[in-house]
Amino acid sequence: MRPKSVVKEEAIVNIALQIISEEGLENLSMQKLAQAANISPRTIYLKYENKEDLLIKLFIDEVLGAYEKAILTGFDEGMEFAEGIKKLWQNGFQYMKNNRYAFSLMQYGKTSPLLNKAYAERNIQQGQFFAPIHRFLKMQVKNGIVKSLPFEVQRALLFAPFYDLMNEYFEHLDRPKQIITDKVLRDTCEAVISGLLKQS
């Protein structure tokens, strides 16, 4: 039996992410992808059932899965509050810097109904990625460190500014000067932390 080419499988994934990042999700077509990856359209359909299947697997496996794993590396629910959040931000920044294309598709997860649905379903099925962070925050509230707010609100306060900064970071990559430096990121993280602390 002829063995499958790993090179081609990786090309599909990487070039798809690149097209999405550079031209937008709406401009990724199966034909364009095949041509750019120098393969036949049919080859994509050996690995993926259809376009929807491809997009969802890219989003869930290649992007979200890898990101969630990266962000939780070295993070421990027992950490002190500020220490834990800083670790998450550091990990996130490190990962994103090296995975610009993944970041682009991740952003589509909030707008595209298809990806949004896939994301919600996955979080229901397999006890979600945010579980350790959820428990971490719950403990901080219990210990009187952090303001008692719904988890969704805490998550918004802690991470929404981070994604905004990453967006800014990538936009400034193409410009003469980068404003999102490690120091700026640390300062922003501090601001986010102090906003959630109980004693203001």
Partner DNA sequence: CAAAAGTAAGTAAACATTCATTTACTTATG
Partner DNA sequence: CATAAGTAAATGAATGTTTACTTACTTTTG
The structure tokens 């800083």 sit at 86
42 binds DNA (CB under 7 A): yes
CB 47 to a second copy: min, Å: 22
138 binds DNA (CB under 7 A): no
Q: Where are the alpha helices (DSSP H) in 49-143?
A: 51-57, 66-72, 81-97, 100-111, 113-125, 131-142
The radius of gyration computed from the CA coordinates of the chain, to the nearest angstrom, equals 19
18 binds DNA (CB under 7 A): no
Inter-axis angle of helices 81-97 and 131-142, to 10 degrees? 150
Of 18, 97, 184, 186, the one binding a second copy (CB under 8 A) is 184
| Cβ distance to a second copy smaller for residue 8 or 114 | 114
129 binds a second copy (CB under 8 A): no
Inter-axis angle of helices 100-111 and 113-125, to 10 degrees? 90
Q: Hey, is 78 helix, strand or coil? A: coil
Contacts 24+ apart (CB under 8 A), 71-76: 71/95, 72/129, 72/132, 75/132
Q: Which stretch binds DNA (CB under 7 A): 50-58, 90-98, 99-107, 144-152?
A: 50-58
Q: Using alpha carbons only, what angle is made at residue 17 by residues 20 and 130, rounded to the nearest 5 degrees?
A: 105
3 binds DNA (CB under 7 A): yes
Of 43, 91, 140, 154, the one binding DNA (CB under 7 A) is 43
187 binds a second copy (CB under 8 A): yes
144 binds a second copy (CB under 8 A): no
Inter-axis angle of helices 151-173 and 81-97, to 10 degrees? 40
174 binds a second copy (CB under 8 A): no
- The contact set with a second copy (CB under 8 A) reads 22-27, 104, 107-108, 110-114, 147, 149-150, 152-153, 155-157, 160-161, 163-165, 167-168, 179-180, 184, 187-188, 191-197, 200
- The contact set with DNA (CB under 7 A) reads 1-5, 8, 27-32, 38-43, 45-46, 50-52
